[in-house]
C-alpha cells in the first residue's frame, strides 16, 4: 500500500492553468477508473472535486477537470483563482479492495 | 444538511486505547459505505479503514491491521473506530468519510499518542 506520487508543490498566476499529476501502478491508478481528487484548505476537511477519474460532483466549478493515462492521473485547474490555493490530494482504489492516497500537492496562486 | 461529527480524540499514552465515534445526520446513513482517514500534522491523507453499508465487509490499511477495529450502528447513525496498542506514529487528525467516493467528511478529531 505505497502512497501515490504527487509533486510536493505547484504554482501558477491568476487566470493560468495548472496540472497536478498523480502516479501509481497497474495495481491502483492504472488498473481502475476510480481516481478521485480532493481540495483541502488549511485547517479544513477535504472536499471532493473529481471522482471516477473525470467526473465533477454537483456544485464543483467546471474549471476543475480530471484525466488518466496509464498509471498516471491528472487534475487540471483552468482560470486559476486566488481561492484555488490549497492542498490537493489524489486517491485511487487498489487491488485488495483498499484505497490509497497521494502525498498531497500544495498549490500556490502567485 | 449533511453532517458528520467525530468525537473521542485526545491524549493517550503509547500502548493505550481510544474509541472514536462519528455521528451522521442529513443523509440515509445505512445506505452509505463509510471510511476512516487520518492526517498527521503537515502530511498527506492516509486511508485506514472501510466498512460496507451493513458492516459485513471490512478492510484495513496494513499500518493499523490487527490494532484498529471499525464498526457501525445503523440504528444510531454512528460509525466507530476502536484503536488499541496505540503508537506515536498514530498521532493524527482522524476523519470519517461517507460513500465510496468520500463525498462527505467530518471536521476531524485529534488523537495524540505521547508519554
Reported as a single tens digit per residue, the pLDDT across B72-110 is 999 999 999 999 999 999 999 999 999 999 999 999 999
Q: How confident is the model at residue A109 (pLDDT cuts 50, 70, 90)?
A: very high
Give the pLDDT confidence score for residue A52 in this predicted structure.
97
Residue A71 grid cell? 498509471
Give the pLDDT confidence score for residue A2 in this predicted structure.
82
Cα–Cα distance, A81 to A31 (Å, whole number): 33
Average pLDDT of chain A, as a whole number: 96
| Portion 9-68 of B in contact with A at CB < 8 A | 35, 37, 43-47, 50, 57, 59-63
Count CB atoms within 10 A of the CB of residue B45. Answer: 28
Q: What percent of chain A stands above pLDDT 70?
A: 99
Q: How confident is the model at residue B16 (pLDDT cuts 50, 70, 90)?
A: very high
Q: Is the pLDDT of residue A1 over 90?
A: no
pLDDT tens figures, A45-67: 999 999 999 999 999 999 999 99
Give the pLDDT confidence score for residue A44 in this predicted structure.
96
Helix (H, G, I), strand (E, B) or coil at B74: helix
Give the pLDDT confidence score for residue B72 in this predicted structure.
98
Cα–Cα distance, B91 to B10 (Å, whole number): 10
Residue A38 grid cell? 480532493
Q: Are A72 and A25 in contact (CB under 8 A)?
A: no
| Contact call for B45 and A91, based on CB within 8 A | yes
Q: Which of A46, A48, A52 sits opposite B45 (nearest CB)?
A: A46
Nearest residue in chain B measured CA to CA from A97: B59
Give the pLDDT confidence score for residue A102 in this predicted structure.
97
Element (DSSP H or E) covering residue B59: strand B58-60
Our CA-based measurement puts residue B60 at a distance from the nearest CA of chain A, in whole angstroms, of 7
Q: How confident is the model at residue B64 (pLDDT cuts 50, 70, 90)?
A: very high
Q: How confident is the model at residue B60 (pLDDT cuts 50, 70, 90)?
A: very high
Q: Is the pLDDT of residue A42 over 90?
A: yes
Residue B94 CA to chain centroid, in angstroms? 6
Q: Are A29 and A92 in contact (CB under 8 A)?
A: yes
Cα–Cα distance, A31 to A2 (Å, whole number): 15
Average pLDDT of chain B, as a whole number: 97
Give the pLDDT confidence score for residue A56 in this predicted structure.
98
Give the pLDDT confidence score for residue A96 in this predicted structure.
83
Task: Go through chain A and tell me how many residues it has.
Answer: 110
Residues paired with A40 in a beta bridge: A87
| Contact call for A45 and B95, based on CB within 8 A | yes
Residues of A in contact with B32 (CB under 8 A): none
Arithmetic mean of pLDDT, B52-78:
96
Q: What percent of chain B stands above pLDDT 70?
A: 100
Count CB atoms within 10 A of the CB of residue A58. Answer: 4
Amino acid at each position: 500500500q505505497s502512497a501515490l506520487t504527487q509533486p510536493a508543490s505547484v504554482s501558477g498566476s491568476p487566470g493560468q492553468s495548472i496540472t497536478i499529476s498523480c502516479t501509481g501502478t497497474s495495481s491502483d491508478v492504472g488498473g481502475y477508473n476510480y481516481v478521485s481528487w480532493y481540495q483541502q484548505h488549511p485547517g479544513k476537511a477535504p472536499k471532493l472535486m473529481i471522482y471516477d477519474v473525470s467526473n465533477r460532483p454537483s456544485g464543483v466549478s467546471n474549471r476543475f477537470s480530471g484525466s488518466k493515462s496509464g498509471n498516471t492521473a491528472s487534475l487540471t485547474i483552468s482560470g486559476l483563482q486566488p481561492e484555488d490555493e490549497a492542498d490537493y490530494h489524489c486517491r485511487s482504489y487498489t487491488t485488495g479492495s483498499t484505497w490509497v492516497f497521494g502525498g498531497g500537492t500544495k498549490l500556490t496562486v502567485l | 444538511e449533511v453532517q458528520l461529527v467525530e468525537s473521542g480524540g485526545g491524549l493517550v499514552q503509547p500502548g493505550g486505547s481510544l474509541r472514536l465515534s462519528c455521528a451522521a445526520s442529513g443523509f440515509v446513513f445505512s445506505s452509505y459505505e463509510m471510511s476512516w482517514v487520518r492526517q498527521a500534522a503537515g502530511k498527506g491523507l492516509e486511508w485506514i479503514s472501510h466498512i460496507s453499508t451493513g458492516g459485513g465487509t471490512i478492510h484495513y490499511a496494513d499500518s493499523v491491521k490487527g490494532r484498529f477495529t471499525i464498526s457501525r450502528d445503523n440504528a444510531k447513525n454512528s460509525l466507530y473506530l476502536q484503536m488499541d496498542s496505540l503508537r506515536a506514529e498514530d498521532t493524527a487528525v482522524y476523519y470519517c468519510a461517507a460513500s465510496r467516493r468520500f463525498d462527505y467528511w467530518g471536521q476531524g478529531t485529534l488523537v495524540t499518542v505521547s508519554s
